[in-house]
Structure 1
Amino acid sequence: MLAVALPAAALEPFVATYQAFNKGKLAGSATMRVTQGNAGRWQIDLAVKGTKGFARIVGLNIEQSTLFDVRDDRYIPLTQATVKHALFTGKKMTGVYDWQTRQAHWQGDIKKERRQPLPLQDGDLSALLMNLAVIRDAEPGKQLQYRVVDNGKVRQYQYAVAAETEIVAVDDLSYDAMRIARTNGGNDETIFWVANGVPTPVRILQRDNGEDAIDLRLSDYQGVQ
């Protein structure tokens, strides 16, 4: 079905629940939450939890959050935190985006070379904020580019939005969604599917060497006050 470009909806608080798959097998669940707090600032949180038997997989036991501002429909990261859980171990990293000095820096359980300040550019995002950016920016056939500064690294992400929608089904729910696929990741692929009227991606798939790895599929979402 041909996709039709529609105006992006204004950002609103929501909570979304995902089924988490690993290599095609149901392996846990995830919750993504967007809230608005004091001084008009926003926060996005993602928590992925693996079921018993998948506790060793760090990608399925992770908590992330980004505090951010919204100005002229731009998402401006202010702080970022990541907590990775593994059997008997855990790692925590925190970062600050200092827009006065236009530098970002991280501390915690992170390699020494990644603690060096990184220069900030207008439009920079955290990895979590890409989930909201693709909702805001997706149009049929459009090329998307993002510069992501996260956990002491800078990465460039390029995506292509499909010209036609496709059906994405999770249990008894189905969405007519646009596919947004990374084009510069090499063997490290990320694919989003976004649907009109849904404030969060309906599916987020990471693929390694051509095979499905972590796969989040939306099972429920609702607005929150």
Structure 2
Amino acid sequence: MTIRPLLAIALSFSLGAGTVAAATTPGDFTATYQVSRGGSPMGTATISLHDDGGGQWTYRKAIKGTGGLAGLLGARMDETSRFRWKGELPEAISYDYALQTGVKNRQRHLRVDWNTRQVHVEGDKGSETYPATPGIVERNTLPLALGVALQGGQQQVALAVAVRQRVETQQFRIVGKETIQVPAGSFQAERVDRTDADRGFSAWYAPQRYPLPVKLSQRDGGDITMVLVSYSER
């Protein structure tokens, strides 16, 4: 079994037509999701945002395998991001990824040194160092950064992503509205697709309600789908 973390995003937003409202960054929250792989139940995910004080925040996603091979292997994935708000963007400070199963473990650690403007990545495939770009976000905070952009009225989003070996630009845009039924309810949602590469990435947002998607589907990394079960503010 392979469980890859969600793609993440960041940098500047390109505006769609019309007036764009100022986005409001969210406060502390906890959200839960059902996770499936290839249409079969795989596990549960808990996503939380916490204000650590001093201008720093922690965003965490924990997935626990409860069905299929993930359940048999007792798979657990934990992604923890620490960031600071830079305008309406969660600018990366660090990112830690850990996957544990009954047969293998994987880890990746990313640190941004803003004094030297360098990104340092360490993982199972070795170490990398490359220049940081102001406003970068790593993969874990994709749903949050994109959701805040949509709440601010963005129609197209151009983002700088800190991946393993470099910062890459990714493009997203709203492609339409769809009625989405998930455990948390029925929503008239805005569908957002990645448009610069065929990565099979789609996310459905109700931006007037939540900064996170009510549904997310990602083909790259194992045909993973997440649907919202609950969302609460603290």
Q: Given the two structures, how large is their TM-score scaled by the length of structure 2?
A: 0.81
Higher relative contact order (Cα pairs below 8 Å, separated by 6+ residues): 2
Deviations 1:114-154 (A, max 9, x none): x1211111221111222111112127782211111134443
For the 8 Å contact 2:147–2:211, the answer to whether it is kept is: yes
What runs of 5+ residues in structure 1 fail to find an aligned partner? none
Distance 2:139 2:184 in 1: 30
Distance 1:198 1:20 in 2: 19
User: Structure 1 residues 56 and 29, CA, compared in 2 at 3 Å: closer, same or farther?
Assistant: closer
Q: Are 1:28 and 2:43 an aligned pair?
A: yes
2:52 equivalent among 6, 31, 37: 37
Aligned residue pairs, count: 213
Q: Are 1:155 and 2:183 an aligned pair?
A: no
Deviations 1:131-184 (A, max 9, x none): 11111212778221111113444333211212x421111136111111110112
For the 8 Å contact 1:140–1:178, the answer to whether it is kept is: no
Q: Are 1:142 and 2:155 an aligned pair?
A: yes
The alignment partner of 1:81 has SS state of strand
Q: Are 1:213 and 2:229 an aligned pair?
A: no
Q: CA deviation at 1:185?
A: 2.4
Q: Given the two structures, how large is their TM-score scaled by the length of structure 1?
A: 0.84
From the two aligned structures, give the one with the greater strand fraction. 1
User: Structure 1 residues 110 and 220, CA, compared in 2 at 3 Å: closer, same or farther?
Assistant: same
Matched AA of 2:181: A
Deviations 1:56-87 (A, max 9, x none): 899x7421111000132232110110001233
1:192 equivalent among 203, 206, 214: 203
1:129 equivalent among 119, 141, 144: 141
Q: CA deviation at 1:25?
A: 1.6
Q: CA deviation at 1:53?
A: 2.6
User: Structure 1 residues 166 and 9, CA, compared in 2 at 3 Å: closer, same or farther?
Assistant: farther
For the 8 Å contact 1:94–1:151, the answer to whether it is kept is: no
Distance 1:123 1:97 in 2: 11
Question: Where does residue 14 of structure 2 map in the other structure?
Answer: none
Q: What is the aligned-residue RMSD (CA, Å)?
A: 2.6
Q: CA deviation at 1:5?
A: 6.9
